[in-house]
Each structure stands twice: as C-alpha cells, then as structure tokens.
Amino acid sequence: MIGRTVSAVNFVQKVGCLVLTKLQRSVVVSLRLLPKLFTSFQQFRGMDTHQITNWAEREHKMMETFFDNLKVYTKEGPKTTLYLHQTEIQVRLHFLSSIFSPGGSPEGFKLSLDQVDTLWLCLATDPQCCDELFSWLLSQTKNKDQHALGMDALKHLYMKKLPSLEPETISMTGLGLFQQLCNLARLATAHLDSPATEVDVVGMDHLWRIALRANNTDVSMAAIQYLNSYYIGRQLDHEPEFVSQCMAHLAAASADLDKAEESSLLCIQRALLLLKTHLETFRKRYAYHLRRWALEGQGVGSHVTLMIGERGCLPLRVVIQPAGVTEKTTLELVSSDYVADLRAEVAKWWESIHPNPTTVAETTATSTPVLGSLLTEGPIRMITQGQELTTEYDEKTLQEMCFKDLQLVFISMGASRQQKKRDSLDSPSVLPPPPRESLPTLLLLQAQYFEQLFRLMQTLSAMKTPVKGGHQIPHTKAQVLSRRVWDILTLLPTSSTLLKGFQQLESPDSTISLQELLDPASPQKLMYSLYIVESLSRNKINPGIGDSPTKQMENSTWSHIFVQHGGLRHIFDIYMSGVLQRSGGDGSEWQQDCLACLLKLLYQLGVTSEDSEALQDSPDGAGNKRAQRLRKGSSDKLFVPRLNEAMLQMMKVETAMPRLTSILHEASLPRDPNHFKTGFWGRAQVVHYAMALLVSWVHSSEEVRQVLFAAPHFSTWLQRLVLEDPEPAVRREVCTALYRLCLGGIEGSSLTIHMLGHLLQYLSVAEGMRPQKLEALHHPAEDGKEPYGPACRDYFWLLCRLVDSLPDEVVKGEKIRPQSPYPWDYWPHEDGRSDCGYVGLTNLGATCYMASCMQHLYMMPQARTSILRAKCDNNSKHELTLRELQRMFAYLLESERKAYNPRSFCKVYTMDHQPLNTGEQKDMAEFFIDLVSKLEEMTPELKKLVKTLFGGVISNNVVSLDCDHVSRTLEEFYTVRCQVADMRNLYESLNEVTVKDTLEGDNMYTCSQCGKKVRAEKR
C-alpha cells in the first residue's frame, strides 16, 4: 500500500511538472525535478525510466512541450530575475542530457531534424549562450553514451547549420564542434573508401574561412593548425587543393584591399602564416628525402637561402665512425638541420663505400621503404652519447638534440630496438619518396602562383597610409606582410624558367631576353633574379656530387659568359637609370634592398678575376669585422680590388661619378627615426657596396682620384655619413671605406692629405657633440651595439688613423702641446667600464649591503638627479655624507673604470654614532632606513623627494563581526618587510602581508563604540 502511495505521489508530481512547464511557470525547478522523478520509478518492479520517458512523450508530448517553452522563452525573455539567463539555458540543456542518456531513454529515442533546427534557431545566434549550445553538441558527438543526435542530425549540423555561422564571430567552442564533425566525416569517408565527397568539401571550405577571417586570434591559430595537420597527414595527396585554396584566398583578399583594408590585410596575414607554416612542416617532415635528392644532384633548394643563409645557424661538423672500424669521416651540417638530414647524409655515405646496385635497382622497381632495403645488412643505426637516434627524432634539429661541433656518432647495421607500429608508420624516413609533382614547393612554382606572389608583394609594398599634413608614408603592416611573402619565396626552389633563361644566355634557342630576366619594373623580382645571377657566378645552385671536371669548368666560366652577352652592361644601365633610388621610384625599402643587391653584384662582376676570387671567400658582413680589425691597429697591407677593363670602360667619370655620389647623398638624407624598419639590408649595406665600388674605382683610375673631392655634394654627404648619421653601422662602414680609400695603395699620401683637409673642417662640430639624452648612457646597448644617434667616435678614429699614417716630412716641425690628462685616461683596458655600460662598486669585505642600496638608489633617475643637484653648505646636516654620496654618483655616471672604491664614503658615514666597519655585515633594511633618514635631514628638496619616492601609507583596519563598528588607523612607512621563503613572486609576498587575522575567543576585540568584546577581523 505504501509503495502504491509513493508511486502515485511521484506520478502526480511528474505530471504537475509537465503541466507547469507547459504553462511557462517554475520551468527551471520542473526541469530539474523531472529527471529525478523519472529515475525514482526504477525501484518498482516491472517499471523503468525508459517506459516512463516513452509514456511522457506519448501521453504528454514532453519534447514538444520542452521546445515550445524554449521558443517562448527565447522570444519573450525571462519573466523573473530569480535565475540568470545563462542558468536558464544550462538547466534546459542539462535536462536534454539526462533524457538522452542510456538510463534516461532507449537508444532509438533521438532529436528530430525539426527539433535540432529549433534548438539551433533559439540558441546559436545568442551571443551569451551560443557556447553553451556548442558545448552541449560537442559532448553529444564525443560521448558514446549520449544518443540525442543521429547520423542525419550530425550531417545536417555539419552541412547546413555550422557553415551558416559567420566565420568572423565563431568561438573556440564552436570551432571545436566543427573540427569534431570534420573528423567524423573523414572517418565515414575513409570507412566507405571513397574519394572526397560534398561533405568533406563543404567542411574544409568553411574551415578555410574560419582560419583566415576569424576575429579571435586563438580561433584562427587553432583552425590553421588543424588545416596543416589535415593536409600534411594525407601524404601530400591533397597538396594541389591546399595550394589552390591558399592562393585563391590571397587573390580575393588582395582584390578587396581598396574596399576593406583591415580585414583584407588580416586575411593576407593569416594566409601567409598558414602557407609558411605548412611549407616549414613539409620541410621538417620530408627532410630525409629532400636531403637525399640534394645529395643526388636533384635538389629542390632555394638559391636565396644558399646566398644569405639561415639566420641564427651555426656550422656543425659531425664525425661518424662505423662500428668496429677506426677510420672516421666528418660531415658538414648546420645547427638548423634535422636528424633526418644527418640520416640521409649517413645513408648516402654508406652507399658510396658499400655500393650494391642490385639492391638499389630492386628498391627503385618495387618502391619499398628506403632504409632497410637499400642496405643489405639492415637499417642504419646512429648512436651518439649513449642515445640511439631512431626515426622518432627525425623531425628534431641538431640544435634541439644538443649536438656540439665535432660530436662523434657511431654507425652500425642491423635491427634496432623494436619500435611501435604507429611510430614506424608515421615516420616518412622509412617510406618511399613522395612524388615530386605533389610537392607544395614545386606546385607554388607554377607560373600563375609564382607571378601571383610577386604581384602580391608589389601591391603590399606600394600601399600608403596618410599622416598629418597631407603626406603619405608606407603602410607599416603591408610592408611587413610583403616581407613575409619574400620569406615564402625563399622556401621555394629556384624558378626553373628564370634559371634556364640565365643558363642558356649563349644558346640561340633561348626564348627569354636579358631585359625580361632582369626587369627593373619590379624591385622584388629584380632582386630575386640578381640572387640567381650571384649564385650562378659562385656555383651554388644544385652542385651535383658527380659533376665531371668539364661540367665544373663550364659552371666556373658562366660569369664570363654573362658579361660577354651584355649582362654586366644591363645591370650597369639599371644602376645608371636611377630607378632604384628614392628620386626614381616610391622610395620604399624594397628599392633600397634591391639597390644594395645590385651594387653588390656590380662590384663582384666588375673587379678583376683574381680579386673576384678573393671577394668570394669573404662573407657579406666583412665590413664590420674589417672595422674591428682596423681599430686594433693592424699593420697588414689593405686589400683593395681593382676594376676590370669592361667595368672601367662603362664607368665614365662625367656620368658615373654624379650617379654614385647621388646614391651616397640620398643615403645621407635625414629620415624619420620613428619609421618602422622592415628591410633586411638597410642603408648600411647600400653605403658599404657604394663605398666599396668608389674605393676600387679610385684605385683603378687616376682621373677619378683627381675629381673625387670636387664631386657634387661630396662635403655634404661626407659630414652627414661620418658624423651626423644616427645609425652606428652606417658611420662605421663609411669610416672604414675612407680608411681603405686613403691607405689602400697608390698615391695614398696625397689622398690622405686631401681627406684630412675635409675632415678637419668638421672638428669643431665633432667636439661640440653630446649625447641627445643623458639617460641614454645608463641603458645597456642592445647586443653590445652603440646607442642610436649621431656620434663622433668613428670620426675621431678615422682622423687619428690618417694622422698616424702621415709621413714624417709632413708633420716635421709640429709639436704636441703638453697636457695633463686625467689618471683614468691611461687606465688598463681590461679594467675599464663593463660592456653593459655600468660602473660597479668594490666590495671592501662585507659591504655588499651598502653597495646594493647605493646601486638601487643610483638607478632611480629622480633620486640620482636630485642628489647630484643638491647644494650642501657648512651649516647643512650630514654635509660630508652628502659630498661623498655625490662623488660616488658622479663616478658611477662618468667614470671609465670598472668599479668605484667606496672606502671614503665608509669613513664619513656613521651608523649608531660609529663609522661603517667594512668587515661587519649589517642588515640591509636597517641601513636603508638609516640612509633615507639622513637624506631627509640633508636638504628640504631631498626630504620631499624621499617622501615622494619611498613614502607610503598603511591602513590598519579592524572590522567588527558582531556590530557595525570599523576602526581604521593610518601609518606612514618607507619599507615593507615581505616574506621570501616559499613565495613564488613579490605579489604573493605582499598578499601575505595583507592577510586578515580573526580576533575571537580569548583574543576578542574590545569595541570602542559598544564597550564590549566582540569578534573582529584585523587586516
């Protein structure tokens, strides 16, 4: 009887909840109670939750009632403020989860498409609760126990609903749902063993739009990562689709730059990032096969990378030794190479000493795995420093594996430890080489894509942005993006069309003229072609290992063929036309970089053959190293290449000299210091190669030496570049070149005298130079470089070198006036000021506490300035201490010594009426408080300064818990004692200082307002 009564009660409650839901009353409470009421029937024999759910749906149309309520709620909004809007939605979704769980309903009980549409219509566009819906749908797709969505509902969401969302506003949760549905669609497609269907195409198209147009950067990066893994994981089968999609989006965004600049630039930025990361991932994953092709003379490398190298890479020599053999072989790699590159080098070396034609032929015919079938004795094992380099390390760089120069690697043959099947399948090193027609780098070299990249680069570099005064300056973001397009070009192999055009210059069947190969209309393409010319002249494009001596001889004479067929003349004509200068174009950094590259190639091809070989042995950055060598006063004879006859015939003084000096004059013009630099060459390289060409020309022609100092704007650009240019690299390049000009060979003394005459005219200007900001002296220069701004150091270095080189006859009768130099002028160099730019304090035994306080005080600009400016007289208190403190700060500011000895300060400073004992350690906090107290008593200005810098107010609050009384006392402080042990940072220590303390029990607080003991919190 009791059981029947309970059952009846539950039944009545359940029906009541459904009625309330239908009447739009107490919906949250009803939906929370219903799942519990349904499960309560399990205790009665012959009944379960499935039957109750079916009964509620059949008799009371439970799901129809639920969705009617949801539509009314989303249309009219909440009728009460008892629950938050998000809570209302969460309760409804939790109810659905309970109903569609294994214990809530049978497997066939699912949402219909109409119900899914209602759910989507009500919640998907709600900015507050759309993520709640996406999260619920994601849990339904991931959790096998949930059965709310059938296959038709999942397909409906994937094909219709999710693509209808705006890609700009989609959230991370929505992207996670979409990726999960993409994975399910891929699994279904793979299970059916069918090609890409409409489902796959629609999903990937929308993912592309999300990756390139999402406003949320995290969402975009996650979509980009998914696209990369999707295409790379398909064994390059879908690379044409990837390249086509990426280039199509780039073209569309480029076309919309005039209509929607910001969104289009964002799309271009994301597409370039996706393309670059994809190419880098491809390079990492297929490093073994790419290196093998390069070793076999069929490489797909870039000539640009060969010429400028990879930044931050160091050469590494790896010593390999086969097991049981004493002979060793050295392989040359770089730190950025992968372990797969090393494995390819080792495999190629092993095949060269153990040829096995039969095995190689079988491998080629059957396309079996490379490692383990090319070699009859099994796979190659590489062991170094007690660790075996298995294929799972192939995608790590040698730097990540902590390889050192001349590190020993043992090579052995045979089976290694058994690897997991998944590891062996995922490693491309053990798979056949991919088809070359599917390589993304070769796909991008197709004519339409290759030209599109150059057009995009030119479009971005030409973009301008207006500034005050009606002027226009280059668009910074567009300039940066144009450089990223160039970075992608450097990852691609050399264009076969351009390469064949240069290699077949002497062939009558050549279809491309020299004017088309070296077209100055596009600075980017011209610079790309100039790199090809330079690499061909240096034999750096695909130097096959098995090249015959005849082939090598043909390569070595290519530069002569290029000169004979008008290549040098054409480059010289571009140089003389002035199209790459500021006056001849838009003055962009691309023109500057292209001009530097053109001057470099003109200089290399224009010198004699003997000097050209010496130039190829020197790196591009020789100017900086040469300047350092010259500063040390090396007496070695300077090497100045001479121009060859072909170059001298073109270099007419009346036309070539004004052009060369105009380049130097434009380089010396002042520029906006706030301009964002995006180029990788810079003015220093333009000046370097322009001056190198000028120096060689002066030493190759007597006529040039006579008209040099009378050239147009000579004095103007000389003063600006030597003294007034803010970039230290530019001043260093000019001074080094002028040193070589005067002391590099013929008629050195006459050139030196004329140059000295011009330089001495600027002596008064150099003597009056001061740093622009005094504070700039107290900031360490980045990477040990000189600070930005005009300076006279290089000017005086050049002046002194030229004076030292004068013959004795010239300086006869001149006397040096005696001077009284400061003692530290002859201080040993190794004991000079540190490279970071600061002067230290000598520890006199146990004075580290004092040195720490003084350095902290000195590094505060307001405190340092006020102390140095303080006026002390005989009547002021602590006069001697203030004078010694000023003396110490003056040395820290101006001294060239490594450290200052504070012994005199310790003698006059008294603490507890006793001079400081240098052998006794004191508490730093006590010394600091004592020092601050003395500073307050010195002058009124310092008292105000101390209070401003160090003073604070601490509030002690006692809040009564039994009454409304709050006691607050304020107290000034100069220091805060913070706990250091077990604290991760300063903020945790400060939180510990302000932690509250509860006063209760015997320690209760006596309230001054109530007059009785109460519980309270003290903080």
Phi first, then psi: give them for residue 488, nearest 5 degrees: -65, -40
CB-based burial, 334-354: b 16+ in 10 Å, e otherwise: bbbbbbbbbbbbbbbbbeeee
How confident is the model over 732-755, as a mean pLDDT?
82
3-state percent helix, strand, coil for the chain, nearest multiple of 5: 60, 5, 35
At 584 the pLDDT is 64
Q: How far apart are CA 373 and CA 377, in angstroms?
A: 9
Terminal-to-terminal C-alpha distance of the chain: 62
477 token code pair: 């973001």
Tens-place pLDDT, residues 345-355: 999 998 888 76
25-82: pLDDT as tens digits: 678 888 888 777 777 766 555 567 788 788 878 887 888 888 888 888 888 887 777 8
Confidence of residue 542 (pLDDT cuts 50, 70, 90): very low
What tens digit of pLDDT does each residue of 413-427 get?
A: 765 555 554 444 567
For residue 510, report the phi and psi dihedrals to the nearest 5 degrees: -65, 130
Mean pLDDT, residues 225-245: 90
Helix 49-60, helix 62-76: angle, nearest 10: 70
Q: Give the per-residue pLDDT at 360.
A: 41
Q: Which residues contact 740 (CB under 8 A, 6 or more apart)?
A: 638, 640, 695
Q: How many CA atoms lie within 13 A of 788 on its CB side?
A: 4
Supply the pLDDT for residue 770.
78
Tell me how far apart the 2 most distant CA atoms of the chain are, in Å: 135
pLDDT of residue 630: 47
Residues 110-127: tens digit of each pLDDT: 889 999 999 999 998 888
Q: Does the pLDDT of residue 176 top 70, yes or no?
A: yes
Helix axes 287-295, 339-353, angle to 10 degrees: 40
Provide the 8-state DSSP code for 393: G
Q: In this predicted structure, which of 278-292, 712-726, 918-932, 986-1000 has the lowest mean pLDDT? A: 986-1000
Summarised one tens digit per residue, pLDDT across range 691-740 is 999 999 998 888 888 888 888 888 999 999 999 888 888 999 999 999 99
Dihedral, 473, 474, 475, 478 alpha carbons, nearest 10? 180
Choice between 791 and 220, residue whose per-residue pLDDT is larger: 220
Domain boundaries, the chain: 1-108, 287-433, 617-770+792-812, 840-949, 952-1018
- The answer, yes or no, to whether residue 772 has pLDDT greater than 70, is no
- Do residues 515 and 307 touch, judged by C-beta distance below 8 A? no
Residue 87 carries which side chain, given as an amino acid letter? T
Place 505 in a pLDDT band, splitting at 50, 70 and 90: confident
pLDDT at 622 over 50: no
Q: What is the pLDDT of residue 602?
A: 93
E strand intervals along 669-805: none
Q: Return d(Cα 189, Cα 182) in angstroms, integer.
A: 10
Q: What is the mean pLDDT of residues 950-977?
A: 84
One-letter amino acid identity for 564?
Q
Do 733 and 778 contact (CB within 8 A), yes or no? no
Query: Do residues 501 and 517 touch, judged by C-beta distance below 8 A?
Result: yes
The mean pLDDT of 866-875, rounded to a whole number, is 82
Return the pLDDT at 6: 42
- The confidence score (pLDDT) of residue 817 equals 54
Pick the CATH number of 952-1018 from 2.20.210, 2.30.110, 2.30.30, 2.60.40: 2.20.210
Task: Flag whether pLDDT at 625 surpasses 60.
Answer: no
Q: pLDDT tens, 784-795?
A: 566 777 888 899
pLDDT, greater one: 616 or 405: 405
Q: What is the pLDDT of residue 638?
A: 74
User: For the segment 631-661, what is each residue's pLDDT rounded down to a tens digit?
Assistant: 444 445 677 888 989 899 999 999 999 999 9
Average pLDDT over residues 838-845: 88
Let me know: does 74 contact 19? Beta carbons within 8 Å. Answer: no
Region 756-767: mean pLDDT is 90
- Contact by Cβ (8 Å): 440, 239: yes
pLDDT value at residue 109: 86
Say how many C-beta atoms besides its own lie within 10 A of residue 696's C-beta.
25
**Is the predicted pLDDT of residue 259 greater than 70, yes or no?**
yes
Q: What average pLDDT does the segment 939-968 reach?
A: 85
CA distances from 795 to 544, 663, 826, 902 (A): 48, 21, 21, 36
Distance CA 524, CA 17 (A): 73
- What's the mean pLDDT when you consider all of the chain? 81
Q: Which CA distances in Å does 635 have to 24, 638, 737, 825?
A: 98, 9, 16, 24
- Across 319-344, average pLDDT: 89
What is the pLDDT averaged over residues 491-510? 85
Burial of 938 (0-12, 13-18, 19+ CB in 10 A): buried
The mean per-residue pLDDT over the stretch 162-188 comes to 88
Region 823-852: what's the mean pLDDT? 75
Amino acid (1-letter code) at residue 382:
M
- Judge residue 784's burial from the number of C-beta atoms within 10 Å of its C-beta, 0-12 exposed, 13-18 middle, 19 or more buried: exposed
pLDDT for residue 23: 44
The pLDDT value recorded for residue 819 is 52
pLDDT band at 24 (very low <50, low <70, confident <90, very high): low
Query: Is the separation of the CB atoms in 882 and 876 below 8 Å?
Result: yes
| Three-class secondary structure assignment of 171-226 | CHHHHHHHHHHHHHHHHHHHHHCCCCCHHHHHHHHHHHHHHHHCCCHHHHHHHHHH
- Return left, alpha or beta for 324; rule: phi > 0 is left, psi -120 to 50 is alpha, else beta: left
Percent of the chain predicted with pLDDT > 90: 25
3-state secondary structure of 772: coil
Q: What is the pLDDT of residues 451-495, one digit of tens each?
A: 999 999 999 998 988 888 778 888 889 999 999 999 999 899 988
Q: What are phi and psi of 554, to 5 degrees?
A: -65, -40
Tokens of 557: 């004479």
* pLDDT given at position 650: 92
Does residue 551 contact residue 314 with C-beta atoms inside 8 Å?
no
CA atoms of 27 and 38, how far apart (whole Å):
16
| Total Cβ atoms within 10 A of residue 637 | 9
Q: Highest-confidence range of 469-478, 549-558, 712-721, 814-823, by mean pLDDT?
A: 712-721
Q: What is the C-alpha separation between 599 and 609, in angstroms, rounded?
A: 18
pLDDT for residue 4: 43
Residues 239 and 444 sit within 8 Å (Cβ to Cβ): no
> What is the number of alpha carbons within 13 Å of residue 1012 lying toward its C-beta?
5
Q: Which fold has domain 287-433?
A: Ubiquitin-like (UB roll) (3.10.20)
